[in-house]
Amino acid sequence: MSVALNAKTFLAAMFVFALVALFSSADVQLLNGQQGYTPDQPMAYSHRLHAGELGIDCLYCHYGARTSRHAGVPPAELCMNCHGSVTAGMDASALEKAAAEEEGREARQITSPELTKLYASLGRGPDGQLDESIEPKPLEWVRVHNLPDFVYFNHSVHVTRGVACESCHGPVSSMDKVRQEGSMTMGWCIDCHRSQGVTKAIKMETRDDAERKDMHVSTDCAACHY
Ligand code: HEC
Ligand code: HEC
Ligand code: HEC
Ligand code: HEC
Ligand code: HEC
């Protein structure tokens, strides 16, 4: 009897051990397309600063999300709408201004090392001006989300129906570095599709019930697989 119990305890312990090993190895090897994936980017662009503190609308940069399949990542030219004049963070600029005042001189233009990378990608020098000796080379942002090719996903069908970015991507405006928040597995897609019409889990306050009944939220295989 006690031998049988010990064997059982041993097996249970082995099972727990195997599970722990499985999860901890999954933890250190996050890959593109996995929940929690937070790759380093070529430049320290922060959503917390831009979308959070500065309050820039998601669609100002990811304008594709409203009209097309892909949300897209904005070209560096779009950043220049502001960074043509903003060449450094507010704090650094304020410090330089104070120092200049104290020393009785003109404030120098300063450029943050991160924005220098933005300018270089556009063939511009640290002052933000075009410089022929610098060859333009687009920033190579690392993809965070990546569904397999056999899945059809479309941003505009969701975004134009009022599904908030945050319901799939989480609190991006508080992230310095974007991470994949949802699991983005088939079950994750289908759970939300099934729940439509019975829960208010996503932002749909603006719709009335009649409109909601007409909604076409599919769980047919062909909606997501060619
Ligand atoms: C000022 C422009 C700008 C704004 C505003 C902005 N983003 Fe981004 N977004 C970027 C850039 C640049 C990248 C690529 C670099 C990175 O991943 O951080 C990006 C990447 C992303 C990604 C990861 C894409 C991938 O590779 O899978 C998501 C998701 C995202 N943004 C969502 C949002 C959401 C949601 C908002 C609003 C809360 C928002 N963004 C606001 C510029 C912007
Ligand atoms: C609507 C205006 C606006 C747009 C568009 C914008 N930024 Fe900014 N960005 C700012 C402002 C303002 C600051 C300084 C904020 C502060 O220091 O409080 C800033 C700061 C930064 C910084 C930090 C600078 C430092 O070292 O302190 C980086 C990096 C940056 N932006 C990159 C980008 C990139 C890349 C894009 C395009 C995808 C972009 N920004 C688009 C307004 C903008
Ligand atoms: C219903 C869920 C859902 C909503 C809502 C959603 N996304 Fe996505 N997003 C995804 C998925 C899934 C991917 C990965 C797509 C792929 O790999 O083909 C993705 C990818 C992205 C990317 C990477 C580039 C691209 O186009 O594939 C960006 C940027 C992005 N989303 C931004 C946004 C923004 C901004 C909003 C709101 C305007 C938004 N998303 C709304 C699910 C969503
Ligand atoms: C947060 C909720 C939510 C998540 C998560 C979600 N969807 Fe949807 N999806 C919707 C809603 C709402 C609609 C209905 C749009 C409409 O009314 O036509 C929709 C519609 C669609 C459609 C258009 C076909 C149809 O049913 O009318 C496709 C394709 C689709 N989703 C694919 C996906 C895929 C693939 C994923 C996962 C990667 C996903 N969705 C995740 C809410 C979601
Ligand atoms: C709302 C979107 C959606 C619907 C509906 C859907 N799928 Fe999927 N499916 C996905 C996504 C996203 C993936 C990839 C992520 C994953 O592997 O979980 C996937 C993956 C798969 C895979 C590969 C599984 C694997 O482990 O790699 C198969 C097979 C599959 N789906 C079959 C089906 C069948 C059969 C149906 C109909 C009963 C169906 N799907 C309906 C979104 C959907």
Q: Looking at ligand 5, which atom is closest to the CA of residue 218?
A: 5
Q: How much is the pLDDT for 222?
A: 87
Identify the residue whose C-alpha is closest to ligand 4 atom 19.
217
CA of 19 to the centre of ligand 4 (A): 33
Which two structure tokens, joined as six digits, stand for 38?
């937070």
Contact status, residue 78 vs residue 86, Cβ threshold 8 Å: no
Q: Looking at ligand 3, which atom is closest to the CA of residue 65?
A: 38
For residue 182, the one-letter residue type is G
| Pocket lined around ligand 4, Cβ cut-off 6 Å | 147, 151-154, 157-158, 161, 163, 167-168, 184, 188-189, 192-193, 196, 202, 215-218, 223-224
Query: In this structure, which ligand is nearest to the CA of 121?
Result: 2
Which two structure tokens, joined as six digits, stand for 136?
């333009």
Each residue of 113-128: pLDDT tens digit? 999 999 999 999 999 9
From first to last of its 226 residues, what are the pLDDT tens digits of the chain? 344 445 555 445 544 444 444 444 444 456 677 899 999 999 999 999 999 999 999 999 999 999 999 999 999 999 999 999 999 999 999 999 999 999 999 999 899 999 999 999 999 999 999 999 999 999 999 999 999 999 999 999 999 988 999 999 999 999 999 999 999 999 999 988 888 743 333 344 444 545 544 556 778 888 899 7
Identify the residue whose C-alpha is closest to ligand 3 atom 36.
165
Tokens 């003109």 locate to: 106
The predicted model scores a pTM of 0.88
Taking the CA atoms of 42, 43, 47 and 50 in sequence, report the sign of the dihedral they define. negative
Identify the residue whose C-alpha is closest to ligand 1 atom 29.
169
Distance, in Å, from the CA atom of 202 to the CA atom of 190, rounded to the nearest integer, reads 14
Distance, in Å, from the CA atom of 172 to the CA atom of 179, rounded to the nearest integer, reads 8
Distance, in Å, from the CA atom of 35 to the CA atom of 168, rounded to the nearest integer, reads 12
Tokens 């022929």 locate to: 132
Each residue of 44-88: pLDDT tens digit? 999 999 999 999 999 999 999 999 999 999 999 999 999 999 999
For residue 27, the one-letter residue type is D
Q: How much is the pLDDT for 193?
A: 87
Q: Looking at ligand 4, which atom is closest to the CA of residue 217?
A: 26
Q: How much is the pLDDT for 10?
A: 46
Q: How much is the pLDDT for 168?
A: 95
Identify the residue whose C-alpha is closest to ligand 3 atom 41.
165
Q: How much is the pLDDT for 216?
A: 61
Per-residue H/E/C for the chain: CHHHHHHHHHHHHHHHHHHHHHHHHHHHCCCCCCCCCCCCCCCCCCHHHHHHHCCCCHHHHCCHHHHCCCCCCCCHHHHHHHHCCCCCCHHHHHHHHHHHHHHCCCCCCCCCHHHHHHHHHCCECCCCCECCCCCCCCCCCCCCCCCCCCECCCHHHHHCCCCCHHHHHCCHHHCCCCCCCCCCCHHHHHHHHHHECCECCCCCCCCCHHHHHCCCCCCCHHHHEC
